[in-house]
Structure 1
Amino acid sequence: MDATLAALPADADHRTAERAFIDAGWTRAGAGDWAIALRAPDGSAAVRISPFDPTGPYTAELYRAAAHTRLMPELFAHRRLSGGGDLQLMEWLTPVDPADAHAFHGLIAARDETLAELVDLIDSIHARALRELPWCGPLDTNPSNVMRGADGRLVVMDLFYADGPALYATAGSDPDALVARIPESERRHITEIPLAGSGPWDEASREEMRRGIAAADARRG
């Protein structure tokens, strides 16, 4: 997996990254609203590839800062992709019972003393994301974000996310506001997220949004 990642060109976007990993024998393992996941040939790792994910660097920072707690996925590598995409290479995880997931999120929300260090790291990095990112959402308490590592431990992932409904509503109704707040280089593939959970998102609507954003970029000069 290191060789596949190292071979990606400097300007690789999400499509280039997905093709490179598939060519190396990785297989499709699922998709969400923001990203797809591929699984390594030996089953030990996953790569999460998103066309557009402003919160990716903050998530990767949290994984690294909290690695010693063993309550976050083990992150092998993180890379920003051309056009605002994000790539995270991590250990393979499996789903857990929703009751266990809700209980884990409940401990975080209650600032349980057994998770004190983790909660402090989450709060610190999330507070900075809220200051620095337009349309940064609250913590994501989706039970599917709690999973289990191969060693049996519970981990929580993808706590940070962009407020998609508000962001995309603005992109559609007031693209000038969008282009004023997010540089083109960080939103070039904004209409290419999978939306596997909330979709489908028809191509005509995507194209209409692309035209509106392009016109706003032209007005901005």
Structure 2
Amino acid sequence: MMPELDAQADHRDAQRVLRAAGWTPGGAGDWAIALRSPDGTAAARISPFDPTGPYTAALYRDAASTRQVPHLYAHRRLTGGGDLQILEWLRPVPVDEAAALHRAIAAGAPPVAELAAHIRRVHARARRDLPWCGPLDDNPANVMRAADGRLVVLDLFYADGPNLYATAATDPGRVAALIPEAERRFMTEIPLAASGPWPPEERRAMRAALAAADARPAAT
């Protein structure tokens, strides 16, 4: 189910190839857009910049036996720090139902105890490995229902965007030192569908400041 992508494909290439294959818009969030497969059974989550993508994919693989995470059909890192996940198609659930599942996970309650243990392990690894890795995201939108009726959690891990982007604006050298350029090339291209809009001039200024910070070590 993974599209045929060039080895150097970025998020734009992934979206172009999938759209050409008949995938259609399925929504957008702050970090990624979604496309739906022609048969309606799968979703492609495409992010220009998502440091936590590999950890989310690891959770889906590790916790697959619980059936409380989405089926992950394919995962691939994209050039420039992007992330592509092909998942089963999911539907929203009522807020109270989602909140109850989040509470059960936080408490390690028996129906989700195995899932909660997987989440803690993978999240601890992400917090250890990644600068600006945020806490678990208990947004009700991160609980959805699969076609077979089961509840699943998704997108629990995220970069602390407000802190990361504020640092990029005020101390770009710190961001340049902690996140390699190859892993943040498109960090100003996230959709921000919920938190935006993000003025183009601010995006340009951030790119210029990070490029200058990248150039300084080479100059010295």
TM-score bin, normalised by smaller chain: over 0.9
Q: CA deviation at 1:203?
A: 0.6
Which residue of 33, 37, 44 maps to 2:34?
Answer: 37
Alignment correspondent of 1:202: 199
The equivalences for 1:110-149 within 5 A come to 110-149=107-146
Which residue of 168, 176, 181 maps to 1:179?
Answer: 176
Could you say what secondary structure the match of 1:109 adopts? Answer: helix
1:8 aligns with 2:5: yes
Structure 2 unaligned spans of 5+:
none
Task: State the 4+ residue runs in structure 1 displaced beyond 6 angstroms.
Answer: none
* TM-score normalised by length of structure 2: 0.98
In the aligned structure 1, how far is the partner of 2:81 from the partner of 2:35?
Answer: 19
In the aligned structure 1, how far is the partner of 2:102 from the partner of 2:117?
Answer: 15
Give a deviation string over 1:96-148, Cα, whole Å, max 9, x none: 01110000001011111221111111001100100100000000000000000
Structure 1 unaligned spans of 5+:
none
Alignment correspondent of 2:97: 100
Could you say what secondary structure the match of 2:149 adopts? Answer: coil
Amino acid at match of 1:178: V
Which residue of 124, 138, 158 maps to 2:155?
Answer: 158
Amino acid at match of 2:156: L
1:46 aligns with 2:43: yes
CA RMSD, Structure 1 to Structure 2 (Å): 0.6
Alignment correspondent of 1:216: 213
Could you say what secondary structure the match of 2:144 adopts? Answer: strand
The equivalences for 1:22-33 within 5 A come to 22-33=19-30
Amino acid at match of 2:104: L
1:74 aligns with 2:63: no
In the aligned structure 1, how far is the partner of 2:145 from the partner of 2:187?
Answer: 30
Q: CA deviation at 1:220?
A: 2.3
Aligned residues: 218
Give the percent of matched residue pairs that are identical in Structure 1 and Structure 2. 66
